[in-house]
Structure 1
C-alpha cells in the first residue's frame, strides 16, 4: 500500500464512521461476552457466538443508516443484511480462531483475547462491507 493510496483512503469520512460503529459494537461484544460467560456460565466461545450475532445486527443497522447512508441502495435491506451477515460469519471465523489461539495457547484472559480478535478481524469486515454488502 503506497502513501498516496493511504492518504486518499483516510480522507473518506465513511472509514471514520465505520471505526466508530466498530468501537461501539466491539465494546458491546466485550460486555455481552463477559456477561454471558461470567454471569450465565456459558463457555466463552459460545458467548462470543451469541454476542457476535447480536452485534452484527446492530452493526448492520448503524452502517446501513449512517456509515454508508450516501451509497445508492440498489438492493433491499434484506438482501444487504444477508450479504453483510454472510461476510460477518467469515469475520466471526477469524475472530474465533484468534480468540481460541490467544486464550488456549498463549493463556491470555478471554476478554483481552476477544479485544485483540476484534481488532484483527476489523480490516476484513470493513473491506467486505464496503466492497460487497454496501456496494453501489
Structure 2
C-alpha cells in the first residue's frame, strides 16, 4: 500500500485521511500535533512527522485509536516514544532491575501491529521510553503543551 499523506499536505486534511473518520483516531492525531514539539523539540518536523510515521507503518483509523487508547493508555509521550523508536530502528533496551543486562531490539512494523491487535502485548513501553530518551536526551514524555 502506498502512502496516503505527504509532507506538504495541510495538517487537517492529513488527520482526516489517516483517521478514516474514526473519532478516537482524530483525537490521537490531534494530540500528536499539539504535544509533539514539546515532548521532542529536537525534531524540526514535529508538526507532521508523527503522522508520516503512522502512514509509513500503515496504521489508520481504528488502529490509530487502539494504539492511543489500548496500547499507550492515552499517554501521548508513550505514543510518540513508540513512533520514534520505530523511526530510529535498532535501540538499546536496558533492564531496570538488571542494568548489566541489555538487549538490542528493533521496534518493527509487525511488532507494533501485533501490539495493537493484542492490547499492547510485546511492547515494553517503559524500556522503549528509556531507550528513546537515551538516544534523544531532550525527549521529555512527561511534558505537554500548555493548552
Q: Please give the TM-score of this superposition, normalised by the length of structure 1.
A: 0.31
- Higher fraction of strand: 2
* Higher helix residue share: 1
The structure with the largest alpha-carbon Rg is 1
